């Protein structure tokens, strides 16, 4: 199973494709360089397979590469960051 995480600015979300199928997304509101993440959804066919984790990890890696920051209003993303403190430096207060 190959997966790819990419930003879809037109939809204001990062999407994960698994074998070319949309498997999930994490939606955001852009406030300059800060992305406020509001929800994460994974298609039921892909739940329990690590797709949500791969999505959030790929999203945060891309935000870090761009020099951006995040406000994890979404519970899934917030819990991921709590479990992976290497991403804590990306978190800022809501602008």
Q: Using the predicted structure, report yes or no on whether residue 95 has a pLDDT greater than 80.
A: no
Expressed as residue numbers, the domain containing 70 is 3-90
Q: Has residue 95 been placed in a domain?
A: no
The pLDDT score that the predictor gives to residue 2 is 61
pTM: 0.94
Residue 57: CATH number of its domain: 3.40.630.30
| Strand ranges inside the chain, DSSP E | 3-8, 13-18, 21-31, 34-42, 69-72
Q: Using the predicted structure, report yes or no on whether residue 1 has a pLDDT greater than 70.
A: no
If one counts the domains in the chain, the total is 1
Q: What is the mean pLDDT of the chain?
A: 95
The pLDDT score that the predictor gives to residue 74 is 95
Q: Has residue 12 been placed in a domain?
A: yes
């Amino acid at each position: 199973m190959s997966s790819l995480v990419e930003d879809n600015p037109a939809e204001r979300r990062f999407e994960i494709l698994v074998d070319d199928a949309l498997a999930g997304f994490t939606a955001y509101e852009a406030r300059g360089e800060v992305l406020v993440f509001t929800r994460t959804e994974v298609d039921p066919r892909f739940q329990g397979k690590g797709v949500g984790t791969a999505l959030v990890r790929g999203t945060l890696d891309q935000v870090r590469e761009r020099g951006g920051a995040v406000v994890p209003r979404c519970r899934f993303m917030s819990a991921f960051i709590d479990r992976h403190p290497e991403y804590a430096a990306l978190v800022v207060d809501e602008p």
